[in-house]
Structure 1
Amino acid sequence: MDRSTRHDHGKLALPDESAPPPYSPWTDGGLAVESGDVQADGRIDVDLDSRFARTLARVIELQQEDLQNPPPGYLEERTTQEIPGGCDIHLNIVIQIVGSRGDVQPFIALGNKLQKYGHRVRLATHNVFAEFVVQSGLEFFPIGGDPTELMAFMVKNPGLIPQMKSLRAGEVQKKRAMVAEMLDGCWKSCIEDDPMTNVPFVADAIIANPPSFAHIHCAQALSIPVHLMFTMPWSSTRAFPHPLANLRSSTMNPRTANSVSYGVVEWLTWQGLGDVINRWRVSIDLAPVSATEGPLLAETLKVPFTYCWSPALVPKPQDWPAHIDICGFFFRDPPTYKPPSALQIFLDSGPTPIYIGFGSIVIDDPQKLTNILEEAVARAAGVRAIISRGWSKLGGASSPHIHYIDDCPHEWLFQQVAAVVHHGGAGTTACGLVNGRPTTIVPFFGDQQFWGNMVARAGAGPRPIPHASLNDRNLAEAISFCLTPEATRSARDIALKMQYDSGVAAAVQSFHRHLPLNRMRCALIPSQPAVWKYRKTKQSLHLSKTAVQVLINNNKLDAKHLQCHDINPIYIENRRWDPLTGVLSASTSTGSHMLKSTGEMIYKPYKEYRRGRAPNPPEESSRHSLPLPPSLASPASDTNKRLEVTRQHSEPGVSRVNSDRSQISLTTMGNMAGASLKGFGKFTGTYFKGVVVDIPHAAAEGFRQVPRLYGEEPKNYGTVRDWKSGAAMGGRNFVDGMTDGLTGFFTQPIKGAREDGALGAVKGFAKGTLGLATKLPSAGIGLVAYPFHGITKTIEAAVRSKTKKIIVNARLRDGYEETRRLQLTEEEEHCILQRFAALMHR
């Protein structure tokens, strides 16, 4: 392909068009089959006829109504921005990314675009990317974790089920420990000062990719908006299965099976990491998430989601709701690059080469892969290749047909080649396609197989070759396919469509569009986000950090009237669908916690006993290091004198040791008793909470939800947040339940008869009877259960106050620094004070 037809910006020079070419409509058939036939080593085989899959299918059917409507509380009072993509509030945004350099790079482009809207952007990712992020002009925060180890683990375990050798080597436990470290790092990235400049920072909004895992939980702790962005399907759809799942043939409806595959993958992920996440949640004063809610938490809460791929490859499925967008691939501004002389000489010395590289993939046997690549290039007659060494350090000696390179920007390099061969990372795939390059993908894990299938489906490359199946023969055939006119034409067609994608700009618009701006604006400084709620007498104002600092400096505000403003409160509730499963689930949870407390009553005292019996090294060391008297140091000393001196120095020590042992024994007994009482307290507390609160609440909610089974939507009373909302919900549910249950017994048959005759009357009688049998119990039990549930929430909020205090201090510190940095004039401060006085005296 003639390189003279390319733009300076790395895109093909295309004919002017008044409108973008139409994207192909979504079709259910072909892609579902292609994705479902994947048989890569280590991927998840989903047995659709298993009891779990069948049960999950029923749960998904029950959840459909929930998933089409916002859950109570989370999106309450939310409105989207009227002007698409507009946002005149300047936010502190933290972007949390877990993955390789290819995962981080697109979000640098996003962060730079957000900065142009006046936002302060911090990118939180692995420590090794610090220089990469800072050089791009963004703030950096390290979250820990080693992407090299993470990539190596994923190559060995391409799916979510680790191989036995990984279990034996302890790699799974290392990965769990790494996840725990990254969770803590992500939380710190929301509230801690810049590690390089010590400038305070508190997040007003979070953008994250799903593998960072901390996103929703950090947003819940701070009550701020969260927006997920990713390069592979992560939201349940009936259009195609999860990219990591292989669906076995089954009698289950194929569209339902596709949805089930997402649930299976999410449940397996939560089963492996749920306990790690819940331990971390407790450390930041959040209640653990139940095993039934954790797996599909983002979908249940309707967290806004933006997918970073081109609709030219994967159109938006029709069953994805409005809070899910597809924006196009992210591309950064092409960097300035001058190739080394050796690379330029190679490019100019023969036919246009192909590119082969696997980026951040870490391979066990790089020499074996190097041999395969060299032999494949030799097999494909007349082909020259540029091979990137990557993290696996591929390579040998360069030759007239093969040139090895280190790091080189793809934006420049892919303009210089005829085709590309790579691992299938979303960013690399996008860069190849936007330059119109036919593509061969050798997937190792994750979404790479998915993108390989998409490229093959579009005709821009052969079917992907899993790395375990790669050899010189099939790679040579794939290279030859890429150099055909048909593949080149298909790749150019995709590039033509992608020219009209606005990737990063569309993602920023999506982020702005889903912000609850009506709750975010400061009453005194409209361009700043309100993070404080000031309440005095009957008046209340939402104020920014700067506004509060100005008011404090001028003695116009008493800090005791300040509290954190919940911009976007997130409530995670255990949903119940019927009284039987609800009570059973609550009883099981109570029983398991009681069993755990019983174990602690036995184990903790024993642990204290072992600790008390352990020797004290410092004391032992000092006792045996007494200085020897001269008589013992002399070999001429007689035996009697030596024994006498030894006795003189040892007897006080023996006495002291016995005294210490006695003291240790008393201390140990006290510690054992304390540990036993603590375990008994936990046991008693768990029992009473389960019997008095959790089980009755589950029963009340289960009875209240039964009418859904016959198409009647229960009344929405909001979410129980404290004792006030609990009492209100209990009272309203009692009145409505008693009224609707009794009246419905008579009105439902009449209504059914009017609509459907005699058959309708029978159905109405059944509905009325069922309503009477469920609404009355819900009203009666709920009259006590909901208030007690609210009281429990109030007590838990009072006990778990450590994190709230940390947030308050961080915001005050950030407000002080921000006010100092802005250097408001006297006139500006006077306007703030005047507006405050006017609003408070309305």
Structure 2
Amino acid sequence: MTLLEADAGSNISSTSTSVESMAADADTEPQITLRSAQLTPSGVVEVTLSFPGESADVVEPSTMNEWEAYSTRQHKMTGQTAPPVPVMNICLAPIGTWNNGVKQFVAIGIKLKGQGHRVRVAANERFRTEIVARGLEFYPLAGAPESIQDFAKFVYDSQNAAQAAAPGRLGTGAIQAFKELMYSLWPAAYGSDPHGGGTNIPGKHFRADALLWHPLLLGHVHVAERLGIPLQCASLEPLSPTYSFPHPLSSVTGLDPPMMKLCRSNLLTYGIVDTAIWHGSVAEVLTQFRAFIGLQKRCDLPDPLVRWEVPHIYLWNPALLPKPLDWGAELSVVGHVTLGINAGLSRRKRKKREKENKRFKWPNALTEFAFQTSAPPVIYFGVSTRTMSPGILDELLRKVDAASDQRVLIIFHTREVGDKQRALYQSANVLEIASDLPYARLFQEPTVAGVIHSGEPNIIAESLSVGKPIGVCGTHSSQQFMASVCERAQVGLPLIDWRTCTVEPLASSFGALLTADLRQRAQTLAASFNPTQALDAAVAAFHANLPLEAMRCDVDASQVARVFDSRHDLKLSLQAYASIQPRYDESKGFVPYRPLRFGGGHPPTFSIRGNAAEVTCDVKPTREHRDGVQLALGALGKDEGASSSSSPTGSRASIAMFWSSAGEEAAVRKATNVAYDRIVKKTQRESKRQAVMRFFGVRSGILSVVSTLAPRSSSMLEKCAGW
């Protein structure tokens, strides 16, 4: 049975496959059994687990002690001085709306560009104008998931479309849209913007040296493997396995909804969700995508980000949700990143934006309703109406109106633009406002005492950063997750489910949101928000995660290596290669250079073996994450396999011109050739010395010391950096 035939509608049948403890005495440990897992039309993976006893879900203290010790060692290692970062081409790729995903990546991109890097942001076409206005390059991605739940719904629709297609065909419609999104990822990292030079005029060619993409853009690992470059991910929601909380897209039947406690079932949800999203038509599309970009073998790993230990940068305030103890140094929680109104804009556009900002005024009806008096208090109530019918929305408004009962004023705000023929709701206690009014600006108004909204991470951060307590109104598991985060931090309420709420619970929620204790804790938490510091930390984490010793040119450490001189084992930048190439026959030993080699279920390694800077990573304590994958794969009757073979070697290098004048070219060529000759002669001298030492029987230990003098060492790189 093929993956496509194996229930492409994401219904994982009941299985007795057991989750075995990774502890030493696995045979005596109780077992958790997966009964079912199903990706639903709403984008939730509903999971049913069977627990033989309470102890089956317990994380032993010894396990967390191991992780604490590991975390301490990692912290000491990451505290070392970072080497200089060469100028490189960086591709960023978010998913989400402008406020909830895209602008955070743009802020990081502007910071990276300010450090000299060439930065491209790949996103939906509707964001082109704003991104380009901020001084960054752009590439249009097909499709536009506006959140992680939208992406999961997108996958559900794709799998259903594939299931309905004729045998042997993936079908059209949703699955074609998913395929187009995946296939647009390759030219985003390696290609020209089709409109970069104007309408239908391609821009300058772009080849990424590093990727910073959202974890759910599933083609990321395959693009990185094909180019042999480092991949990192960034997200506003936690998507890496942990004992501390469940996957935001999961809903485990029969367990306490908040689930903000250490338990083994939390960890299992990550492997199960990864597999439920990946299997069937998605795996088939990714396999086709791999073949399209020149990679061999099938896509057989549901969780390559975990297997390859891909670094993640998480963009939320750790004071709200601390970094889990069982996350390694490759997973960072840097803080809430936001984008300044004028960040990256030219002087002319900055002045124009400042004038627009000064001229901004709230509608008169809103000012008269909410901002002219401090009593009664005002609550902002925002909802997402994508899954609401007009009748349900009107019914919710009537309930909100009745619950306010002249004790509070409600500013009601929908995220999406609704039916233009529908009149906005207005009463003595409730005023519905237009969807395009800026919510972050509303939160800053002194009369707004509390905020209820749809639970998007950026809205939570914007409200808490100005000291406004939180309520989340929604039905999705990710909304339940964010409500639980705020409730555990004692700055928010339990989830308000608009499907089942009545007037009395709504009135109680309004009252609880306005209590002095909750408001005081929200104001205290507000002091921990520092977007500037968070942005600096995000960029620092990105740099710290780069395998710089594998990326830098051996002749000029300020440049990225893109050509390999196999005769002398030297990594060269295109500038260095262009300088020395006329002296040599190109067919003799010069090939494109890829810093990393990918393959199988282990993290990528340096493509040049024996690099002294490639140290062995500290061994992580064991966890049962892969058991979640095995449970789901077992339910589908699918064995695990290797995702790929070794990365391809590629074609011959091409020469690019880098000099503005003949004089500059001559000077750079001369200096580069001097540095290159010095390194080559040094290598030849060392090789002769080693041969003599071997002839006289000098032991290998001394030889290993001598080998550290090779030009790939950091000391030699430092000597070359001055040229």
| TM range, smaller chain | 0.5 to 0.7
What is the identity, as a one-letter code, of the residue corresponding to 1:390?
R
Counterpart residue number, 1:98 = 95
Q: Which residue of 2 aligns with 1:396?
A: 423
Contact 1:88 1:117 in 2 (8 A): no
User: In 1, distance between residues paired with 2:538 and 2:455?
Assistant: 22
Secondary structure (helix, strand or coil) at the match of 2:234 reads strand
User: Aligned ranges for residues 82-93 of structure 1 at < 5 Å?
Assistant: 82-83=80-81, 87-93=84-90
Equivalence for 2:224: 219
Residues of 1 paired with 2:663 and 2:510: CA distance? 61
In the TM superposition, residue 446 of structure 1 has moved relative to its aligned partner by 5.9
Is it true that 1:190 corresponds to 2:189 in the alignment?
yes
3-state SS of 1:419 partner: strand
Deviation at 1:369, TM superposition (A): 1.6
SS in 1 for 2:596: coil
Question: Which residue number in structure 1 is paired with residue 718 of structure 2?
Answer: none
Q: How many residues align?
A: 557
What percent of counterpart residues are identical? 25
Q: Residue in 1 aligned with 2:389?
A: 365
**Residue by residue, what CA displacement relative to the aligned partner does 1:773-822 show, whole Å, maximum 9, x if unpaired?**
xxxxxxxxxxxxxxxx9xx969xx8xx78xx34xx57xx37x43x55699
1:478 is aligned to: 509
1:266 to 266, 274, 277: 274
Q: CA deviation at 1:546?
A: 2.4
Point out the structure with max Rg over C-alpha. Answer: 1
Matches within 5 A, 1:141-160: 141-147=139-145
Gap change, CA 1:551 and 1:353, over 3 Å in 2: farther
Aligned position for 1:566: 594
User: Which residue of structure 2 aligns with residue 581 of structure 1?
Assistant: none
Distance 1:822 1:248 in 2: 71
Structure 1 residues 837 and 264: CA distance shift in structure 2, 3 A = same
Equivalent pair of 1:143/1:185 in contact (CA under 8 Å): yes
Question: Match of 1:47, as an amino acid?
Answer: T
Shift of 1:434: 1.0
1:372–1:472 CA contact under 8 A, matched in 2? no
CA separation in 2, counterparts of 1:288 and 1:831?
Answer: 44
> Structure 2 CA distance, aligned partners of 1:117 and 1:402?
46
User: How far is 1:206 from its partner?
Assistant: 0.4
1:206, 1:219 within 8 Å by CA — same for their partners in 2? yes
User: 1:237: which partner in 2?
Assistant: 242
In the alignment, which residue of structure 2 is the partner of 1:785? none
More moved, 347-356 vs 170-179: 170-179
Partner of 2:184, secondary structure, is: helix
The residue type equivalent to 1:46 in the other structure is V
After TM superposition, the score normalised by the length of structure 1 is: 0.58
TM-score by length of 2: 0.67
CA displacement, residues 274-328 of structure 1 (integer Å, 9 cap, x when unaligned): 121111111112123454xx12211111111222221112212222122212111
* Aligned mates of 1:279, 1:301 — CA distance in 2: 21
Among residues 511, 523, 547, which one is paired with 2:542 in the alignment?
Answer: 511
Greater mean deviation of Cα atoms: 213-222 or 172-181 = 172-181
Once the two structures are TM-superposed, the CA of residue 561 in structure 1 deviates from its matched residue by 2.7
Query: 2:673 is paired with a residue of what secondary structure?
Result: helix
Residue 286 of structure 1 is matched in structure 2 by 295
For residues 682-732 of structure 1, what are the alpha-carbon distances to aligned partners after superposition, in whole Å with 9 as ceiling and x for unaligned?
Answer: xxxxxxxxxxxxxxxxxxxxxxxxxxxxxxxxxxxx99999x99xxxxxxx
Partner of 1:110: 108
Looking at structure 2, the residues matched to 354 and 407 of structure 1 have their Cα atoms a distance apart, in angstroms, of 18
Q: What residue is the counterpart of 2:674 in the other structure?
A: 834
SS of structure 2 residue aligned to 1:212: coil
AA partner of residue 674 (structure 2): Q
* Per-residue Cα deviation, 1:111-150 (whole angstroms, up to 9, x for no partner): 1121222111111112222123222322110111134799
Deviations 1:525-570 (A, max 9, x none): 321111111223xx23211122223334x55662653212221222
Unaligned runs of 5+ in 2: 1-39, 71-76, 198-202, 256-260, 343-353, 611-641, 683-723
Indicate if the aligned counterparts of 1:209 and 1:230 stay in contact, CA closer than 8 A.
yes
**8 Å contact from structure 1 (residues 437, 488) kept in 2:** yes
CA contact (8 A) 2:455 2:479 kept: yes
Q: CA RMSD in A?
A: 4.4
Aligned counterparts of 1:822 and 1:479: Cα–Cα separation in 2: 72
Matches within 5 A, 1:170-569: 174-195=173-194, 196-197=196-197, 198-248=203-253, 255-272=263-280, 273-289=282-298, 291=300, 294-334=301-341, 336=354, 337-338=357-358, 339-342=360-363, 345-346=367-368, 348-351=371-374, 353-358=378-383, 362-366=386-390, 368-373=392-397, 375-377=399-401, 379-380=403-404, 381-393=406-418, 396-397=423-424, 399=426, 401-402=430-431, 404-416=433-445, 417-445=448-476, 447-470=478-501, 474-499=505-530, 502-536=533-567, 539-552=568-581, 555=583, 558=586, 560-569=588-597
The structure with the largest strand share of the pair is 2
Kindly provide the amino acid, as one letter, of the partner of residue 106 in structure 1: Q
Deviations, residues 395-415 of structure 1 (Å, cap 9, x unaligned): 734757515134344443321
Q: For structure 1, which runs of at least 5 residues remain unmatched after alignment?
A: 1-38, 70-78, 576-717, 726-788
Residue 127 of structure 1 pairs with residue 156 of structure 2? no
- The residue type paired with residue 90 of structure 1 is V
Tell me which residue corresponds to 2:715: none
The aligned counterpart of 1:682 is: none
**Any conservation in 2 of the 1:432–1:438 contact (CA below 8 Å)?**
yes
Bigger helix share: 1
SS at match of 1:453: helix
Alignment of 1:646-795 (within 5 A): none
Shift of the 827–40 alpha-carbon distance from structure 1 to 2, 3 Å rule, reads: closer
Letter in 2 for 1:131: T
AA partner of residue 565 (structure 1): Y
